[in-house]
Structure 1
């Protein structure tokens, strides 16, 4: 039974990706005044072990785009905290201090892409009406603008966002990484710059898509909370308390965004984690059930069978044997 939710924000209130944070910040946007265009420097992919975090660095001098394809990174920048889960992108500013807010809870994979601009850039905050407002500060890498430039336009990309088309972004970043070994060649550099421009377009498209889907931020916040706390006892009221939104509104947002209720999302995520443990460890089924948030092994087996069409033991036997034959 849902409790009374007096004082909770109603639909249409300002949506912010800040879990359990008292301050409310608008969406941060990095805006480049082009020409000249932002330019690609280098890229790669790294794995972060459980307990480790993103490097603690100050004023790197380059923009650092991070895109997580597995797990979750916990990163802070000048007092702001970000949970960078799978399918999310974050741009770290070249003039700021960024650091891990906590270690990874699981093996985490992330793409990184360093880039820079010879022109002017600034950080702005998106107001509720969608118009830019002055940010906390601005970075100007070329203090004296050329007054005779023509066809100047703005490139606006979100600093932090859930990607509209994560698979396309992964593919672009993989292509960039494959070109790194020959990046000293002129034609390769040009190809990398073209791919990088599409990366910026994908970021911009994600921001446009978000504006067209009211409630998507709330769905993302709820999903992030469920992923972070899946090992614990969770009910919809816990999610409502964490996000300070009515649970009925949260459920409606998640249904629209993910096609399922918060508890169905939690169930699916727990079962995905269980499948990994079944194939990657020799832990007993009962132990795995507890490790992924099920209080009773029998209930875990029942849910697993309903979603996968087989018991956990049958799943382990079938796919571990198949893996051995293929190996």
Structure 2
């Protein structure tokens, strides 16, 4: 294995933003579990994201390889430079749920997984096909000794999660990093597929997803309802997920409109339980990161402002699985989300 550090301007720009996020702790959606909280009244704080970071992320995540199918060795260009793979990987360790979704969708059972703190078990929607990957710590606390013990021949992760561990990981096995998880999930998928020589399969899976998203949009017709995405986080943080998020890309692909306060190119805006009326839309879909008791979900939904929301009164407020809607970050989760949207929006 050889690694050459040939970064790009985009990667350098995004690294600074990524590292600031990493310091907050991960919620596997591309941002920290902590961050600025909303103040009193109508004041809102913006969770991590932004146009500049978005552009850098997309440019870096789109990197990969020009190798032909079946051609080895191959060199993968990624967020941390270049990595040479001498043969097709057989023992893969994944450092986040997005990479897990990616490799499982391509027919690969990883030997190791770093789950999220908010969902420490193997995601239920992947259990059938994921095999029994060994735990190698969590996305924010990797166990390098456990990773080395699995003798991997490829490690897949992201710069945002583990930039400070990249050198050590590269000493264990060839390591390929996307810039970040989240709204760049399609580019990340193709990057991972390139390292596995599964690009054709990945493109087929993405095309199938795109077809389903378009079909849902057509089924909903011209007068589509607005969808509000609410996620309850630890320490009283309540996020209204916006455009630069995994769920934001899915709603956009289906042509489903968002409330005005979620029509921003950031991960999310943040509100408090006292301002939960800002979460209104024709439909509200709610996720919870980790233990609901560690969040303000109960406080927010006991607020008369919540009970008076149009979506709540109409019976259009639904709890949805956090592991697919927010933590999945891959094509399999995206199709699960589309199925849930179809079920709820077309009743």
TM-score by length of 2: 0.26
Larger Rg: 1
Between Structure 1 and Structure 2, the one with more strand by share is: 1
RCO (CA 8 Å, sep 6+): is it higher in 1 or 2? 2
TM-score by length of 1: 0.27
